Amino acid sequence: MANLILASSSPRRKELLQQLGLEFTIFSPDIDESVLENETIEDYVSRLAACKAQAVLMHEPHAIVLAADTSLVFNGQIIGKPESKQHAFEIWSLLSNNEHEVLTGISVAMAGKSETQVVRTRVKLQKLSLADMEYYWATGEPLGKAGAYAIQGIAAQYVTRIEGSYTNVVGLPLHETVQLLKVVKALN
């Protein structure tokens, strides 16, 4: 395989891609991540993944570039990273005893070719008590995490159901990523 570049600075994406035994380098592009007017969340994550891949491809035109963008969605709204303890508690109050979705746009691009796909996973959290929230906040794990939780960490104890790709919720759906890499390589 040509030089593979992961267009992300996410340590979770790096760890997931390493699980596949692939050799790759990292180049994290700086792009505008604003949501466009009337843009669906599916279109948003797809567009950002494709833009990240193309931005890196401009610098490394002979590489195969893998990019992803993940959003946690509740009631049609993107739930970002907590800005404070109070904000984390507000997020958990929404997600408590409810289902939400995690959408990841993944894009694989090389000179003249690209493929982009969106993967959806449904997650349900248990009813969170104030004690649960206080405990989890004190761990420090919610900081910097969309939805204020990390399914691969301590928060796993609060997840009652998952429908779809577990690795998607972590940040990179591995099965679909491998399939896209195969398609793009086959198109070469």
pLDDT tens digits, one per residue of 96-137: 999 999 999 999 999 989 999 999 999 999 999 999 999 999
Q: For residue 188, what pLDDT band results from cuts at 50, 70 and 90? A: low
Residue 71 in contact with residue 41, Cβ under 8 Å?
Answer: yes
| 169/100 Cα distance (integer angstroms) | 11
Is the pTM higher than 0.85?
A: yes
pLDDT tens readout for residues 126-171 = 999 999 999 999 999 999 999 999 999 999 999 999 999 999 999 9
pLDDT tens readout for residues 48-88 = 999 999 999 999 999 999 999 999 999 999 999 999 999 99
* Closest to 173 in 3D by CA, of 66, 96, 87: 66
Q: What pLDDT, on a 0 to 100 scale, did the predictor assign at position 112?
A: 86
Q: What pLDDT, on a 0 to 100 scale, did the predictor assign at position 185?
A: 78
Q: What pLDDT, on a 0 to 100 scale, did the predictor assign at position 184?
A: 83
Give me the active site residues, please.
Answer: 69
132: helix, strand or coil: helix
SS3 readout for 7-76: CCCCHHHHHHHHHCCCCCEECCCCCCCCCCCCCCHHHHHHHHHHHHHHHHHHHCCCCEEEEEEEEEEECC
Phi and psi at residue 113, in whole multiples of 5°? Answer: -140, 140
| 85/138 Cα distance (integer angstroms) | 10
What kind of fold does domain 4-187 have according to CATH? Maf protein (3.90.950)
95: helix, strand or coil: helix
What are the structural domain ranges in the chain? Answer: 4-187
| 24/5 Cα distance (integer angstroms) | 5
| 116/48 Cα distance (integer angstroms) | 10
Residue 141 has what DSSP assignment? T
| 14/10 Cα distance (integer angstroms) | 6
What whole-number percentage of the chain has pLDDT above 70? 97
For residue 159, list its beta bridge partners: 125
Residue 146 has what DSSP assignment? G
